[in-house]
Amino acid sequence: MKINKKLLVVLIIASGIVSAGIFSYFIITAFIITDEKFFDIKVQVIMANYKIPSLAAGIVINDTLVWAKGYGEQPDLDTVYMIGSITKTFTATAILQLNESNLFNLDDDINDYLPFDVKHPNYTSTPITIRMLLSHTAGLARDLSYALQWYFDNNTIGWMNNNLGTNIIYWEPRPSLEEFLNGSFTSTGLYYSSHNWDSEPGSHFLYSNTGFILLGYLIEQITNQSLPNYYQENILDPLNMINSGCNYTDFVGKNAIPYERIGNRIFEIPLYNWAPSGAGSLRSTVPDMAKYMIAHMNLGKVNETQLLKPESVELMSEIQVPLTGSYLGFDLDGYGLGWLIYKDNFRGHDGATPGYLANMFIKESERGTFGVILMFNRGTSFVLDIELLYQFYPEINQILLKRAESLFY
């Protein structure tokens, strides 16, 4: 056990009086605070400062989950959190699996595999490719104009209208994913808007949930099975991720309760499902996500399971489009295929859905690889929470990074 000698704390100082005369003495009991205990205190203090109800985190070194812990109101490690856009890495993994099976080429026009055309109205001769969707360079808007109605069922929309002052129109009946996408990209479609498009395909980066919804639908078209079923059979089951999936009703009694903040009030959100899509519908636990990270940290292999070929894992980490700036405490270098690439050999992805935030990042070095997974149940999707997003989030990432480095080096 590592001990920081600077953390010797005197907890009891007692004095006594002896009858033969006044004689003071001190009994000093020194308790040693270990590095791990001090780390726990730091996490608990920052959670209290930012009013985080529950948090779970884990550290993976090479092929082992070496540390994992839950904090707050729901500290069990089998507590299930939504992971938001970390789902995009699963969608990218699925696409690379299908690419390995020679079912398509990454530079194919997506219209070769869809029952309707997706063409930018101002650049009809420029194809949108699978690679463009994976790298957020397809010229699509961040979200479709009717995205909220698609993401949430009518019960959740009713709660939003009653509690957040929104006025979102109910869909009766609810369209299928094919009907929704067809209606969003066809100029005469029921859900069409010119705001569904951005720039010329292939010209520059714009983070797009829309593109990954299309990728999820592409997977369904090519495999003839639902996206949740594909995830289950080809990623979750092979990795024995028993507490992961898309439907909260599969994890009764285990779901982290989602919260957001309005002003100084932290309010609870009813549990909900994010409509199955390639952009952000999965939920998981720290131990399950550790298995997934281990695969991506070890050239696609966990024990005897080869999730992806090594060349596919390497391809996902190749920069497709350069990026600059800072994000969540890391310096950006670019975007790969479903993964953010940071400077200093870091890569990862974060996720945000109402009531939840999550992050994972991996660091490669000559000595090996380590990774961190973080989940907590206070979000900023319904109401922008600048303090949470730009203060707590980077701070907790750096606390976990330092802890991982102390265990790794």
**pLDDT for position 184:** 98
Q: How confident is the model at residue 81 (pLDDT cuts 50, 70, 90)?
A: very high
Cβ neighbours of residue 226 closer than 8 Å, sequence gap 6 or more: 220, 276
pLDDT digits (tens, 9 = 90+) for 43-71: 999 999 999 999 999 999 999 999 999 99
Domains of the chain: 3-35 (no CATH), 50-408 (3.40.710.10)
Q: Distance from CA of residue 74 to its chain's centroid?
A: 19
Return d(Cα 226, Cα 231) in angstroms, integer: 9
Q: How confident is the model at residue 33 (pLDDT cuts 50, 70, 90)?
A: low
**pLDDT for position 5:** 39
Helix boundaries (H) for 11-63: 35-49
pLDDT digits (tens, 9 = 90+) for 270-308: 999 999 999 999 999 999 999 999 999 999 999 999 999
**pLDDT for position 216:** 98
Return d(Cα 268, Cα 258) in angstroms, integer: 6
- What 3-state class would DSSP assign to 4? strand
27 within 8 A of 13, measured Cβ to Cβ: yes
pTM: 0.92
Give the mean pLDDT of 333-351: 98
Give the mean pLDDT of 376-394: 93
Q: Is 355 left (phi over 0), alpha (psi -120 to 50) or beta?
A: left
Return d(Cα 150, Cα 153) in angstroms, integer: 7
Tell me: pLDDT of 325 over 60.
yes
Return d(Cα 330, Cα 352) in angstroms, integer: 17
Tell me: pLDDT of 19 over 50.
no
Residue percentage of the chain with pLDDT more than 70: 92
Return d(Cα 82, Cα 159) in angstroms, integer: 19
Give the mean pLDDT of 228-240: 98
Across 356-403, the runs of DSSP E, i.e. the strands, are: 356-365, 368-376
pLDDT digits (tens, 9 = 90+) for 151-198: 999 999 999 999 988 999 989 899 999 999 999 999 999 999 999 999
pLDDT digits (tens, 9 = 90+) for 89-128: 999 999 999 999 999 999 999 999 999 999 999 999 999 9
Residue percentage of the chain with pLDDT more than 90: 87
